[in-house]
Amino acid sequence: MATLPSAVSVVEVGPRDGLQNESALISTADKIAFVDRLTNAGLRAIEVSAFVSPKWIPQLKDAADVFAGITRRPGTRYSALVPNLIGLERALGAGVTDVAIFTAASETFNQRNTRRSIEESFATYRDVVREALSAGLRVRGYLSTAFGCPFEGPVSTEQVVALTERLLSLGVFEVAVSDTIGVAHPGQVRALLPRLLATIPSTRIALHFHDTRGTALANVLAALDFGMATFDASAGGLGGCPYAPRASGNLATEDLLYMLRGLNIETDVAIDAVSDAALALAPQLGHPLPSRYTQAR
Ligand code: MG
């Protein structure tokens, strides 16, 4: 049996990735309370919102107000997604210290999701990352559809490796290699990770799994065997899957924490406090929380 990492970092994406994909509109005050509860649960990295056009994502139009309202704990990083320089300027105006950029591993998905090609995305992000770094920000990258595309199907390993390297060369500290539609399975994880880790240190790769087909935790377990130690998750499993209505999306944070605790892997996060944070929002979502751990409570 491989030696598992002794500690894992959990990046909480519920307030941004989760709520962005919920049809219910959550009030600014409730979002602030949600982020504060996640902070108090011990999460050290929380993606709070996105500075994108309110026309595209009305759920996150109050990004600046949410950042103004949350209580920031020293040692915890609070990030925002930015699609372009306008978004970066808004983030800077809101006192944001950590931003994230995103591109897809498949051309069709990038076009449909952002109305620009992968090349155009990189042209934009060259400037965004340069400006962000010169302002002293830390920048994370997302590579979506890394395990499959809803329009193109399979995505080549070569493309995933090349785009991850390219994002890192822009100056991002870490790339979240993401299974946007929840098709990844441990066989794919075992095939992709050796290719990524041939040229990239494991400390610069995070994994973002969705549980749409019930494989998210199995994927994490497969990745732990390769020494991977940063995983994205969403409290309560918030977010759903935009490409499979009524299916679950993001891996639930408390489900991940439960498995890690069972493996004696340290996270310093209180599971039930994360579950409570999601439960506080549940009455407004119009559907039960997907998290198995929270359902079992
Ligand atoms: Mg997601």
105/148 Cα distance (integer angstroms): 9
Q: Which domain holds residue 153?
A: 9-296
Q: How confident is the model at residue 38 (pLDDT cuts 50, 70, 90)?
A: very high
Q: Which pLDDT belongs to residue 251?
A: 97
Number of domains in the chain: 1
pTM of the predicted model as reported, rounded to 2 decimal places = 0.97
> For residue 205, how far is its CA from the centre of ligand 1 (angstroms)?
16
Is residue 271 a contact partner of residue 231, using CB atoms and an 8 Å limit?
Answer: no
Q: Which pLDDT belongs to residue 56?
A: 86
Whether residue 227 lies inside any domain: the answer is yes
Whether residue 4 lies inside any domain: the answer is no
Whether residue 29 lies inside any domain: the answer is yes
Tell how strand 230-233 and strand 174-178 pair up: unpaired
pLDDT tens, position by position, 147-177 = 999 999 999 999 999 999 999 999 999 999 9
Residue 134, strand partner residues: none
Whether residue 2 lies inside any domain: the answer is no
Which residues are tagged catalytic?
Answer: 241
Whether residue 108 lies inside any domain: the answer is yes
> For residue 93, how far is its CA from the centre of ligand 1 (angstroms)?
26
234/198 Cα distance (integer angstroms): 29
Whether residue 286 lies inside any domain: the answer is yes
> For residue 31, how far is its CA from the centre of ligand 1 (angstroms)?
18
83/103 Cα distance (integer angstroms): 9
* CATH number for 122: 3.20.20.70
Whether residue 3 lies inside any domain: the answer is no
pLDDT tens, position by position, 199-241 = 999 999 999 999 999 999 999 999 999 999 999 999 999 997 7
Whether residue 273 lies inside any domain: the answer is yes
pLDDT tens, position by position, 90-149 = 999 999 999 999 999 999 999 998 899 999 999 999 999 999 999 999 999 999 999 999
Sequence-separated (6 or more) residues with CB below 8 Å from residue 147 = 155, 178, 179, 181, 183, 184, 188, 192
Residue 132: CB atoms within 10 A of its CB come to: 27
Kindly tell me the sign of the dihedral angle through the C-alpha atoms of 256, 258, 262, 265: positive
> For residue 17, how far is its CA from the centre of ligand 1 (angstroms)?
5
Q: Give strand ranges (E) for 26-169.
A: 45-50, 77-81, 98-104, 138-144
